[in-house]
């Protein structure tokens, strides 16, 4: 009889329970194979709409549509067993009304089997967050720099660099916490502001370009692997995967050109 070890997935409430405790580790993932590698080391995997830029070559996340998120969400759920999988709601799929957001979030949850969704926005999204949570959908919020609003903001600009901007951002973080979000991403904001928000709200803050004081951290996996051509200042490259891929491809091209590949160990002989 084979005994299979049952791996239990981390849940959204378990992430909330980590407020003020052991830091929450997370990364983006868009495919089954990176999800499988990261699964053991992260608490949640975010199928971020950054996949539009990282994987599909768009200039921003604005063109990303729901079907694309669902396709990548399915792959990440298939590749992982332990980490909570959170799927981003793309631009245009949730802003119109709470009921439109519910319809699209239900599609994401049913079709991918993920454990939660994420959406961008503060006070103006609080009603929608409350509506989704009351109907069984765990929501991670996202305030500070919200890349889906790039055309209104005018660029990928760090938020809260002057103190007169702080109150609005703090009010956003408090509003999404009060609305029932299980955690909130703080993206690209002045370090003391992120630390202050972390101290003042009841749900975990997940920093990206924010503060080491946040309850957890997230990075785009390709950025921290050293696979992205350009990375923002707040990224630390923990690997040199881009260089390693290029080296391997160059060696392969040379081997094909000088006919040293395939060698005899890579070919099949006749059996008789
Ligand atoms: O889309 C994404 O990858 C994100 C992270 C940067 C938090 O939202």
DSSP 8-class letter at 254: H
Please indicate whether residue 220, judged by its CB atom, sits closer than 6 Å to ligand 1: yes
187 is catalytic: yes
Return the pLDDT at 1: 55
Return the pLDDT at 6: 80
Question: Could you read off the pLDDT of 36-59 as tens digits, one per residue?
Answer: 999 999 999 999 999 999 999 999
Return the pLDDT at 272: 85
Ligand 1 atom at minimal distance to the Cα of residue 118: 8
Give every residue of the chain whose pLDDT is below 70, as ranges. Answer: 1-5
| Rounded distance from Cα 60 to ligand 1 centre (Å) | 12
Please indicate whether residue 50, judged by its CB atom, sits closer than 6 Å to ligand 1: yes
Domains of the chain: 12-239 (3.20.20.60)
Q: How far is CA 23 from the centre of its chain?
A: 16
| Rounded distance from Cα 120 to ligand 1 centre (Å) | 10
d(CA 173, CA 203): 9
Which pTM value belongs to this model?
0.96
Shortest-distance Cα residue to atom 3 of ligand 1: 48
H helix runs in the chain, sequence order: 12-16, 32-38, 51-54, 66-79, 98-112, 126-134, 150-153, 166-178, 191-200, 221-225, 241-257
Return the pLDDT at 33: 98
């Amino acid at each position: 009889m084979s005994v299979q070890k049952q791996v239990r997935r981390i849940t959204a409430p378990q992430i909330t329970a980590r407020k003020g405790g052991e830091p929450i580790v997370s990364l983006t993932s868009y495919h089954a194979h990176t999800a499988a590698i990261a699964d053991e080391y992260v608490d949640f995997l975010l199928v971020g709409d950054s996949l539009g830029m990282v994987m599909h070559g768009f200039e921003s996340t604005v063109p990303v549509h729901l079907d694309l998120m669902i396709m990548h969400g399915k792959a990440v759920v298939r590749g992982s067993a332990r980490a909570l999988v959170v799927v981003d709601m793309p631009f245009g799929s949730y802003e119109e009304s709470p009921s439109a957001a519910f319809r699209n979030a239900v599609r994401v949850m049913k079709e991918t089997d993920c454990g939660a969704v994420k959406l961008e926005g503060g006070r103006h999204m609080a009603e929608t967050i409350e509506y989704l949570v009351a109907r069984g959908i765990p929501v991670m919020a996202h305030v500070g720099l919200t890349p889906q609003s790039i055309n209104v903001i005018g660029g990928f600009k760090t938020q809260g660099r002057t103190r007169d901007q702080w109150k609005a951002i703090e009010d956003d973080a408090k509003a999404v916490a009060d609305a029932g979000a299980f955690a909130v991403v703080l993206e690209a904001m002045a370090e003391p502001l992120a630390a202050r928000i972390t101290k003042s709200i009841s749900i975990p803050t997940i920093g990206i370009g924010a503060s080491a004081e946040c309850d957890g951290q997230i990075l785009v996996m390709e950025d921290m692997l050293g696979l992205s051509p350009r990375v923002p200042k707040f990224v630390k490259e923990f690997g040199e995967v881009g260089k390693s891929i290029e080296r391997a491809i160059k060696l392969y091209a040379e081997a094909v050109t000088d006919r040293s590949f395939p060698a005899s160990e890579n070919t099949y002989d006749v059996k008789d």
